[in-house]
Structure 1
Amino acid sequence: MSVLSARRQRKRKLKSEINVVPYIDVMLVLLIIFMITAPLLNVATEINLPQSKARSLQQKQDPVVVSVDAQGNYFLAVTAGKNESVTAADLRARVGGIVAQNKDVQVLVGGDATASYQTITDAIDLLKEAGVDKVSLISAPKQDPAR
């Protein structure tokens, strides 16, 4: 009986291994799902920029973009593609914080083609109050009427 009980004890020995294959499968599926859905999550505000023949600027880093729509609402994009609606006070505070960390940050202002000139200059005034020294205006390339 001692031989039989020894065999049973060997069979009942616990395994201390973790089977990670199912976890890897789940992670790969999640990775594929996120890779497919991430480009679809871009949220943007539709603004019709005025057209001009100005050259584009050469940039070393992503600029801070402030947009003004036709109703006079402000939008702030600190990272490319992430346009957030902000109030005038929030715009001044957030841009002021960015300028405090990096004095050389490039700030671009884009206004809707139907927005009043006053709302765009109000946005520039808010940026000046936030400590921005230089502001660049955004425009769309001018379309040829013959095309």
Structure 2
Amino acid sequence: MAQINVVPYIDVMLVLLVIFLVTAPLLKQGVKVDLPHVPSKPVSSQPTQTPLTVTVNAQGAFFVNQGANPTQALDAAALRHIAGEILSKHPKIQVYVRGDSHVSYGKVVEAMGILQQVGADKVGLVTEPPAADSRH
């Protein structure tokens, strides 16, 4: 017989499929933030690259989505260093701040100030749209 037995290959592919299905949900990274609910217009321009997003959680810790592990809390000096490196490489990148609704307003303003000090021309704030039943 001159045919290739493909049954072992199918077994390996099914095992890999199961592994990927189990591990895929675990790869999601991010910081849990309760964004304020504010009516606002969505950003209309489509970014050419992933924007730089700085997250301030309820405890006032900073997180960056580019160039650093998003699960690692940063202080102001580390945020200044990491954001400065990213903005020096990509000066036209869009910059956003996600602030938890329970964090002090001063921490969000501190993040915005740091970003502007290291070269961000414009800094946007990320909010959630209000729930449909709360609109009047």
Tell which has more relative contact order, 1 or 2 (C-alpha 8 A, sep 6+).
Answer: 2
> Partner residue of 1:38?
24
TM-score (norm 1): 0.71
Identity of aligned residues (%): 41
Which residue is equivalent to 1:59? Answer: 46
Q: Letter of the aligned partner of 1:124 in structure 2?
A: M
- Label 1:25 to 1:65 Cα distance change in 2 as closer, same or farther (>3 A): same
The alignment status of 1:105 with 2:93, answered yes or no, reads: yes
Tell me the distance in 2 between the aligned counterparts of 1:75 and 1:125: 15
Going from structure 1 to structure 2, the CA distance change for 1:23 and 1:93 (only over 3 Å counts) comes to: farther
Query: Normalising to structure 2: TM-score of the pair?
Result: 0.76
Q: Deviations over 1:67-120 (max 9, x none)?
A: 1112211111128xx633222222111111111111110110011111111111
Decide which structure has the larger Cα Rg and report it: 1
- In the alignment, does 2:130 pair up with 1:145? no
SS at match of 2:41: coil
Give the corresponding residue for 1:13: none
How many positions carry a matched residue from both structures?
A: 127
**Cα distance, 1:128–1:62 mapped onto 2, change above 3 Å:** same
Measure the CA separation in 1 of the matches of 2:100 and 2:115.
Answer: 18
Q: 1:91 aligns with which of 69, 76, 79?
A: 79
**1:47 to 2:36 alignment:** no
Cα deviation code 1:29-50 (max 9, x no counterpart): 3354135412332133221111
The answer to whether the aligner puts 1:120 opposite 2:97 as a matched pair is no
Name the structure 2 match of 1:6. Answer: none
Q: Unmatched 5+ residue regions in structure 2? A: 1-6
Return closer, same or farther for 1:90/1:22 CA change in 2, 3 Å cut-off: farther
Unaligned 5+ segments in structure 1 are 1-20
Aligned partner of 1:68 in structure 2 is 56
Counterpart for residue 29 of structure 1: 15
CA-CA distance at 1:54 after TM superposition? 0.8
